[in-house]
Amino acid sequence: MKKSVSFHPMAEMEMNEAAEYYETREIGLGTAFIDEVERAVNSIQQYPESAHIIVKSIRRKILWRFPYSLMFSTSADVIRILAVASQKRRPFYWRKRK
């Protein structure tokens, strides 16, 4: 059974801002970014332990097509997306999120 997924409000904002940015660069690219995030979330739901541990129980799933990573934690029943982090942004800015 797949675990449910919840996004930290800041992670959801990061995802939407990135999608808006990509959409201004090319029509449809913002939608492609959201699709890529959804594919990564589905992969995390199926194989959460396949992502690398970054800090303690926080894991990172790198997006395939875009320079972003999903930072997440897992509990018994929920996967919590803590950040949709640009790989060009300062590392660990999201560390205090829960």
User: Mind listing the domains of the chain with CATH numbers?
Assistant: 4-86 (3.30.2310.20)
Express each pLDDT in 28-75 by its tens digit.
999 999 999 999 999 999 998 899 998 888 999 999 999 999 999 998
Write down the pTM of the prediction. 0.88
Q: How far apart are CA 15 and CA 69, in angstroms?
A: 10
Q: Residue 69: enclosing H or E segment and its boundaries?
A: strand 68-74
Q: What pLDDT is recorded for position 8?
A: 95
